[in-house]
Amino acid sequence: MRSLIFLFTAICIACCIACPALAQKPSRTSPKTRDAAKRQPAKPNVIFILADDLGWGDLGCYGNEKIKTPNLDKLAGSGILFTHFYANAPVCAPSRAAFFTGRYAESSGAYSGDGANEIEVPAGLPNLATLFKQAGYQTLHTGKWHLSARTTPDKYGFDQYQTREANSWGERQKDPYFRAKSTGYLVENTIDFIKAHPESPFFVQLWAVLPHDILFPTEEQLAWYEEYDMRKKFKIPGFPFTSAEQIYYASVTALDDHLGQLFNYLDSTGLSQNTLIVFASDNGPGMMEALQVGHSAAGSTGPFRGRKTSIYEGGIRMPLIVSMPGRIPQGKVNDTTVVAAIDFLPTLSAIIGTKMTARTDGEDMSGAWMGAGMSRKEPVFWRWRWQMPPQLYHAARPLRCGRASGNY
């Protein structure tokens, strides 16, 4: 009897070895998913999208009931929305340097907002591009740079780059509507780059120029907000002016509309399952009193006072959305964890499994990005050294330090 049982068992094992399909349930994955799995690297792809001068309250998912942002709202619904995220400076260059290097302006060298004359972030500093490059990623920077007027992005670790200052868009930049259409060009660059590297993980730094002034939306974009068109409302022959609301709202929706094309591409190819999308803004919206902003100063800081150039909440408290279906909880709002721009470098290092050896001023907040509750260990501080007219918000508070809580 034992001999028969042994013989029967041996026959079954042999059949399973010869016919693996008998031992494993057939996969029912779709052809699209199978194709994506073939090209997907083990490490997650990362796309870091940075808006320019977008306020905390400018997106529908942050409570704005006037501006249409369906694609970013959908992105927030597929991941985590942070309500306590802070840029580390109230103007462009030092804020971007903090995202890129994980350092405050005092140690990155990026103090003012005048990238053309003042800024030169040392290329030797550890940064996002070198982090991903050393981890085997293909790297692309497309869009606004503002970290150096003399050193191109490839010197910082990017395999490919395209900015207005170097390797530009040529004839396209002569179009008066270039800024209005610019996010679409950045999306084109990104998709072409992804297609060119099907076997490698990729890191894309897509830094948009919208909704930074000077804004000049196309007539098609303005038509999204006809109810704010003063030219039609007043019906005065030859009246040339529309409203700041129509101009600004149309610009934000144009940003959202073009980003939607990128999100749709990632979904249609199955890449979104292994692609971490991070969306943020560099500082608060511009103020009406600034000459070049007056025509479009309708950005919202939500309930917070202060705007760009201010270290009150409105100048530094920004939207942050992180999404990666399957790895990050969907539809979650984190309204307790304080996250800062200086955290991006150590956080992304942890997410892609690369050990950080260099010092940064930020903290690894990957637990919060992945959906866990956590608190930061060290306080965050802000310093605004420069005087830019008009002196409305920042002059009285040149230094601020704390755990980013309280009434500011």
403 has a pLDDT exceeding 80: no
Question: Which pLDDT belongs to residue 20?
Answer: 40
Per-residue pLDDT of 316-352, as tens digits, reads 999 999 999 989 999 999 999 999 999 999 999 999 9
Identify the weakest region by mean pLDDT among 130-134, 170-174, 396-400: 396-400
Mean pLDDT across 75-93: 96
SS3 for the chain is CHHHHHHHHHHHHHHHHHCHHHHCCCCCCCHHHHHHHHHCCCCCEEEEEEECCCCCCCCHHHCCCCCCCHHHHHHHHCCEEEEEEECCCCCHHHHHHHHHHCCCHHHHCCCCCCCCCCCECCCCCCCHHHHHHHCCCEEEEEECCCCECCCCHHHHCCCEEECCCCCCCHHHHHCCCHHHHHHHHHHHHHHHHHHHCCCCCEEEEEECCCCCCCCCCCHHHHHHHHHHCHHHHHCCCCCCCCCHHHHHHHHHHHHHHHHHHHHHHHHHHCHHHHEEEEEEECCCCCCCCCCCCCCCCCCCCCCCCCCCCCCCHHHHEEEEEEECCCCCCCCEEECCCCEEHHHHHHHHHHHCCCCCCCCCCCCCCHHHHCCCCCCCCCCEEEECCCCCCCCCCCCCCCEEEECCCCCC
What are 256-272's pLDDT values in tens digits?
999 999 999 999 999 99
Instruction: Kindly report whether the peptide bond that precedes residue 214 is cis, defined as omega within 30 degrees of 0.
Output: yes
Please say if the pLDDT value at position 112 is more than 80: no
pLDDT of residue 386: 64
| Per-residue confidence (pLDDT) for residue 389, from 0 to 100 | 55
pLDDT band at 231 (very low <50, low <70, confident <90, very high): confident
Q: Is the pLDDT of residue 294 over 80?
A: yes
pLDDT-derived band of residue 32, with 50, 70 and 90 as boundaries? low
What's residue 205's pLDDT?
98
- Of all residues in the chain, the percent with pLDDT exceeding 90 is 66
| Residue that wins the pLDDT comparison between 408 and 253 | 253
Higher pLDDT, 79 or 14: 79
Query: Residue 120: what pLDDT?
Result: 84
- C-alpha 210/C-alpha 231 separation (Å) is 24
Give the pLDDT band of residue 356 (cuts 50, 70, 90). Answer: confident
- Would you place residue 115 in the very low, low, confident or very high pLDDT band (cuts 50, 70, 90)? very low
As a whole-number percent, the residues of the chain with pLDDT over 70 amount to 82
Taking only the tens place, the pLDDT of each residue in 168-177 is 888 899 999 9
Please tell me the predicted confidence (pLDDT) of residue 42: 78
Instruction: Among 28-32, 123-127, 234-238, 338-342, name the most confident range.
Output: 338-342
**How many CA atoms are closer than 13 Å to the CA of 299, on its beta-carbon side?**
34
Q: Which domains does the chain have, with CATH numbers?
A: 35-402 (3.40.720.10)
